[in-house]
Amino acid sequence: MQNTEFNTGVIKPVECAKEGFELIKSEYWILFAIWIVGAMLGGVSFFIVTGAMMCGTYYAYMRKIDGHAASFDDLWKGFQWFGSGLVVMLFIIVPMIIVYAIIYVPIVIAAAMGGRMSQDEMIAMLIGAFAVDFILIVIMVCVHTLLIFSFPLIVDRNLGAFAAMALSARAVLKNLGGVIGLLLVNFVLVIIGYLALCVGVYFVIPLIIAANVVAYRKVFPRMDDDRRYEPPPISAYGGG
């Protein structure tokens, strides 16, 4: 039986960021390479392998934070959880695609109509689209926040996709203040990265991942059984 217990009230956002940096700084560059290669492969594959790359990235960072040496080969271990990772990514990406299609396809069609729509009608449509867009972005941020622990749970607790998402949501809701604080700290790091000629944002991502993994470890303490890194059975991919 998988261990689905978790701690509450243990996330201290600034301390998570500091601890994450201290734990990865000795092997920062290899961990940087792991995340950026994984992100690039996910992008060129039209997100098909993004879930596996996310699992591999979290696998590498989690092992480092658990006291192991970082290895680039850890990235490819993510394919062990390809099915579960894909389901989680589809759950994240497909609603976004549908939402943006609903919002922006009518605008494109209206623009193609040219003179058939007045300027006032076009402005009204744009304002409505942006208002709906803002509301949906807020909703999606809330949903994605609930799933912040999903990939680590797939790797660390051998959970299937839906079980990992459900447990992640429960843990986040029980640690909501700490998670929100962590997201704010991550946002500040992103802003600092953008201020560093924009390219700096790429160099703060490993710090953000490390902070998230440290927070995860506070909520879900390390299991002594290293078999937790074995992939789940195929039947778990559909719903844990």
Instruction: With CA atoms as reference, report the closest residue to 174 among 2, 24, 7.
Output: 7
Q: Does the CA dihedral 102-108-111-113 come out positive or negative?
A: negative
Give which of 66, 148, 133, 67 is closest to 99, Cα–Cα.
133
Q: Quick check: is 62 in a domain?
A: no
CB 239 within 8 A of CB 83: no
Residues 6+ apart with CB under 8 A from 75: 34, 37, 38, 53, 56, 57, 59, 60
Instruction: Tell me, yes or no, whether 115 lies in a domain.
Output: yes
Position 119 scores a pLDDT of: 73
Is residue 57, in this structure, part of any structural domain at all? no
Residue 45 domain-assigned (yes or no) = no
49 occurs within a structural domain = no
Q: What is the pLDDT along the chain (240 residues), one digit of tens a residue?
A: 457 899 999 999 999 999 999 999 999 999 999 999 999 999 999 889 999 999 999 999 999 999 999 999 999 999 999 999 999 999 988 877 877 777 777 777 777 765 566 777 778 877 877 887 788 788 888 989 999 999 999 999 999 999 999 999 999 999 999 999 999 999 999 999 999 888 999 999 999 999 999 999 999 999 875 545 555 555 554 544
Q: Does residue 165 belong to any structural domain of this protein?
A: yes
- Assigned domain for 71 exists: no
Taking every pair of Cα atoms in the chain, the longest distance, rounded to a whole number of angstroms, is 68
Give the Cα separation of 189 and 208 in Å (integer): 8
The number of distinct structural domains making up the chain is 1
- Say how far residue 149 (Cα) sits from the centre of its chain: 8
Q: Is residue 30 part of a domain?
A: no
Please report the pLDDT score of residue 141 as a whole number. Answer: 86
User: What is the reported pLDDT for 67?
Assistant: 94
Instruction: Name the residue range of residue 156's domain.
Output: 13-24+96-237
